[in-house]
Amino acid sequence: MIERTVQVGSPGGLHARPAALFVAAAAAAPVEVTIRTADKPAVPARSMLAVLALGARRGTEVTIAADGPEAEAVVDDLAALVAGDLEAETTDA
């Protein structure tokens, strides 16, 4: 199991738009990925509802985990995505 723990970087937390971008990236990954917070158990990273239910705000530590041959690259990419500012990628907002 490969794991990375990072702090949520988006100002609004891991809510609608950042969550949707994260979920889309996780769903496109070749391995099953989970995400959890310190006080909530791991949930499938490809489930929008499950990710939203985590209620992760900016600065909340989340742990992303996956198994398998490509897990390391997938987990690194997704961790970087969560740690970055997903709001900043909005083109016209």
Partner 1 sequence: MADPAVLRRHAIRLHETAPDRDSAIRICGEVLADVGAVSPAYTAAMLERERSISTYVGEGVAIPHGTLASKEDVHGDAIAVVRFPDGVDWDGQPVRVCVPIAARGDGHVALLSALAAILLDPEAARALRDAEDPDDVIRLLEPVGKETTT
Q: Report the interface residues with partner 1, using CB under 8 A.
A: 11-17, 20-21, 47-58, 87, 90-93
CB nearer to partner 1: pick between 4 and 15 = 15
Exposed/middle/buried for residue 93 (C-beta within 10 Å: 0-12, 13-18, 19+): exposed
Distance CA 35, CA 51 (A): 8
Q: How far is the CB of 19 from partner 1 (least distance, A)?
A: 8
CB nearer to partner 1: pick between 76 and 88 = 88
Catalytic residues: 15
Q: How far is the CB of 72 from partner 1 (least distance, A)?
A: 28
Query: How many CB atoms sit inside 10 A of residue 38's CB?
Result: 9
Query: How many CB atoms sit inside 10 A of residue 59's CB?
Result: 9
CB nearer to partner 1: pick between 2 and 13 = 13
Q: How far is the CB of 48 from partner 1 (least distance, A)?
A: 5
Sign of CA dihedral 87, 89, 90, 93: positive
